[in-house]
Structure 1
């Protein structure tokens, strides 16, 4: 199939006398001719990575390439380092299959040249139709099996794992770790289609970095899942390194997108095999949610490293609030004037009640520290010498952070 597409793109380029590039309907590169003319960074990146960036995709869509039935001339864009182009949409029975692109930096490509180029397009539309059909069927089977691994019953998950192995989608079963890439929406917005394209591109790029047959991926509405499958072998990146690569790739892909404020990547614990991946996925998703609520944890958050937030995040659906853990602390949280007292208390409890270490961390005189702690005791009606009270106060502070009722300035 790729040989047929290569023959067609070479024929198109020869007819026009300039390089040509073919993309599928998702603007992923499927074939390109030899390039000996003007080339911009967008074309270079497309060839090297077999895909373009979400910003460029969004720009071309604004130019109307998705709805076009005739060639579209797109202007240059200095901000994207994009030269002027001619885009010829390829359709089969009105179904959009892909695009043929020509760089036309000097505007010398005439309508007659474009008409000359369209001679092989009947063959091209049929070739792209077959490629899309076969690709979609394989992709749908993999997507459905991966979805089954993450949401269905044990029996269904075991059947899906066997199917993925028998079809050669994954090389081996074994230790499986889930990563969740979470899109944190900008205020008042939801992740749009361009953001989801960026998310899928980051997942696919990371799969290629590790090995396509050692990974699976799935895109939901606001997050993506990457399953790293099979026992770890020498030379394969650790889950933490993989999460770092995914985070960096996704952060770069979504930079500047108006619907995305930031991204968080969660890491689950390893499980024995694909059929148990759901447990790692749930942990990774919960880690990502906690990271969304608490930016101070960083962009990559592991379930194993959540500490007390592992427990509190699982109680989130139990209608547990700060007042239920320590009513006195809830009174302090209601008044912003007590913020400095709360921060002092949290530092003191984080350091296991070590007054010397707390004073050093907060750069306070010991007398000032003791005064603040005494004020906490008075206002919250508590006794910091009581171990149970200290435990309840500490839990209430962390729960306040997780629910957004307590934020440091």
Structure 2
């Protein structure tokens, strides 16, 4: 139903001083944003009230671009809408029908309908433009973030370019950083709620430097400042907390060693991936494998062929043991880890001391290596470590 056209003040021009005062007061109400974002809104409402009509479709559409401009300028939507709503109510008392309400009370009602409808149309258009622009910005930000993460972890991008882009994503690559890589039964995906939870939980883990949380080939990747060991421990602790019990999602993590620069991040990322795989092969009870604790394994596996020769030449005779290699290998592992203490080994494996000594004797008889002799232990331990790292002689049951 069309708004009735008032007859009282059909050609009353707006007072520019009044409109300017209203615009600046509304901008103050909205937190001090630029009053220029109002555009011609006050003139348009004044004219619509005087002529008793709605804002035209073409004019309303202009506010969509204002919403887009506000979104790209970083203005909050709430502040933008507050600007327009404050401008509308502040303009009200100055409108000709309101100023002449004693002479034409019905004109006030009509003016109210025009102002409310004009404000509603403008706010709807503003919001639509703002939301569309924000979605585009988010998509662009996600694309830029994905490109940066891929370039950073690949190690093939221009280093100076990475250093320039890094602060935008919260990284200052001149300092030492470390990388954690997590895999679980369900692959991690960009934009998933779980990623947002991890990001929130890790915020503030290192002073003045929030970690970069992203995904890579279905794995969760966390790049974080690591000025000291305490920073690494704090990030790992928070990761454990947010990921929950490992038996629930079968998650495992690898943590690389800290290093400075873009190349340091790449190196730490590769170390974290190797540590993750080594932790899986070793079947350790701790789901977090730290590259700093696996240096011996890395040395042993630097030449897989040599490592396999060491294992085969040292441990191959154990294949003859009834019941398989695994029980004997586990006994050797526990015995060597306990410093050659048979009683402690028995406690760890829930065996009798007699069973432990029997297995050690079988190792001596089959391989000629006596684990109870200190001069034999170094080579034997290297072979056992390499066997675990290589998954020799096959997957454990």
TM-score by length of 1: 0.56
What is the match of residue 250 of structure 2? 262
Residue 204 (structure 1) aligned to one of 194, 199, 215: 199
Counterpart mapping for 1:214-293 below 5 A: 214-229=210-225, 231=227, 238-251=231-244, 261-293=249-281
Change (3 A) 1:213 1:133: farther
Moved more, 173-182 or 239-248: 173-182
3-state SS of 1:288 partner: helix
Change (3 A) 1:214 1:339: closer
1:245-269 CA-to-partner distances (Å, cap 9, x unmatched) read 12322348x997xxxx411222222
What is the match of residue 303 of structure 1? 291
Q: State how many pairs are aligned.
A: 285
What is the match of residue 327 of structure 1? 313
Change (3 A) 1:193 1:268: closer
- Looking at structure 2, the residues matched to 152 and 382 of structure 1 have their Cα atoms a distance apart, in angstroms, of 45
Residue 137 (structure 1) aligned to one of 116, 137, 140: 140
Unaligned regions of 5+ residues in structure 2, if any?
A: 1-70, 83-119
Is the 2:311–2:384 contact (alpha carbons within 8 Å) kept by the matching residues of 1? no
3-state SS of 2:184 partner: strand
1:302-324 CA-to-partner distances (Å, cap 9, x unmatched) read 21123533434544xx3456554
Moved more, 356-365 or 344-353: 356-365
What is the match of residue 106 of structure 2? none
- Do structure 1's residue 4 and structure 2's residue 77 form an aligned pair? yes
What is the match of residue 344 of structure 1? 331
- Looking at structure 1, the residues matched to 244 and 342 of structure 2 have their Cα atoms a distance apart, in angstroms, of 40
Larger helix share, 1 or 2: 2
The alpha carbon displacement at 1:298 in A equals 1.0
Is the 1:332–1:338 contact (alpha carbons within 8 Å) kept by the matching residues of 2? yes
1:209-267 CA-to-partner distances (Å, cap 9, x unmatched) read 437854323311221221113757xxx97211112212322348x997xxxx4112222
Change (3 A) 1:173 1:221: closer
| Root-mean-square deviation (Å) | 4.1
Change (3 A) 1:270 1:216: same
Change (3 A) 1:294 1:385: closer
Change (3 A) 1:294 1:408: same
What is the match of residue 178 of structure 1? 178
Is the 2:314–2:383 contact (alpha carbons within 8 Å) kept by the matching residues of 1? no
3-state SS of 1:304 partner: helix
Change (3 A) 1:223 1:178: farther
Counterpart mapping for 1:55-74 below 5 A: none
Larger strand share, 1 or 2: 1
Is the 1:176–1:230 contact (alpha carbons within 8 Å) kept by the matching residues of 2? yes
Is the 2:179–2:257 contact (alpha carbons within 8 Å) kept by the matching residues of 1? no
Change (3 A) 1:217 1:274: farther
3-state SS of 2:178 partner: strand
Change (3 A) 1:250 1:342: closer
What is the match of residue 149 of structure 1? 152
- Looking at structure 2, the residues matched to 374 and 118 of structure 1 have their Cα atoms a distance apart, in angstroms, of 89
3-state SS of 2:76 partner: helix
